[in-house]
Amino acid sequence: MSGIDQPLGAIRRAGDALLSLFYPPHCAGCGASTVSGIHVCTGCAGAVTRIEPPFCRVCSQPFDGAITDEFTCSNCADRAFHFDCAVTRCMSKGVVRDFIHRFKYDREFYLRHALAEWAAEALDDPRLLARPFDFLIPVPLHSARQREREFNQAEAIAHLLGKRAGVPVYRALKRVRFTTTQTRLDRHERMENLRGAFRVRHPARVLSRHLLLVDDVFTTGSTADECARVLRKAGAASVRAITVARG
Ligand SMILES: [Zn+2]
Ligand SMILES: [Zn+2]
């Protein structure tokens, strides 16, 4: 009997270990026990910094002050972005920033569920509800970077958002130039760095379409802007953007 039980037990234990690798029954933020499949405890979920009005109607930059009207922040006032707006509900701080980092760099792929939930909070933003979109377009990674990371974080989030919104994901863009990391560059340097980085695969498929770009974080807007620029040039009717968080 034990000869049969032992391997079965071992298989079951291995199965449980494998399952908990993908669905750890603990909060991925603080380690508190959670229901299996839920990765954020109520405490960590409540600690997320939400973007509340007033915020910039273009880039969603929050403003600390008493403005009741719609406004455009100084960053957006002196440049013409090629996207109509970038919507998000969370600031890239604390648990949100930590999850994005672990998702991208430590390959904790299961965190995509929590990240997509945060991104999905922005789906009912009036700037998105004002007009339906035809496709969700993930911001692409260069193929060399994607091989190294094993997945494109924007695409993983886009697939979950697409299911939620009932809108297809279309990989309209290809990253044709390998760009150095943007983190240490200022706004102007980022724009220069990204120039010519993206190509539209099939312009006819985006012609006259309303598109929603998907990315993990919105920082200066340079990436979304360059993606939107080539999509508009290819004939897209409009480009908006949605991200998990704002830097
Ligand atoms: Zn927690
Ligand atoms: Zn702005």
Distances (CA, A) of 60 to 25, 54, 74, 205: 34, 9, 12, 29
Residues near ligand 2 ion, CB 5 Å cutoff: 56, 58-59, 61, 73, 75-76
**Look-up of token digits 């598109």:** 211
pLDDT, the chain, mean? 88
Q: CA-to-CA distance for 132 and 85, rounded, in angstroms? A: 14
Q: Which residue has the higher pLDDT, 130 or 15?
A: 130
CA of 225 to the centre of ligand 2 (A): 13
Count of other CB atoms within 10 angstroms of residue 84: 18
Flag whether pLDDT at 12 surpasses 60. no
- Whose atoms come closest to the Cα of 40: which ligand? 1
CA of 234 to the centre of ligand 2 (A): 25
Flag whether pLDDT at 2 surpasses 50. no
- Whose atoms come closest to the Cα of 83: which ligand? 2
Q: CA-to-CA distance for 61 and 59, rounded, in angstroms? A: 6
Across 90-100, average pLDDT? 96
Phi–psi pair at 200, nearest 5 degrees:
-85, 125
CA of 211 to the centre of ligand 2 (A): 20
CA of 112 to the centre of ligand 1 (A): 16
Closest CA to 165 of 127, 129, 137, 123: 123
pTM summary value = 0.87
Closest CA to 116 of 33, 40, 223, 227: 40
∠ CA 125-223-54, rounded to 5°:
35
CA of 95 to the centre of ligand 1 (A): 9
Per residue in 103-142, pLDDT tens? 999 989 999 999 999 999 999 999 999 999 999 999 999 9
Per residue in 21-41, pLDDT tens? 555 578 999 999 888 777 889
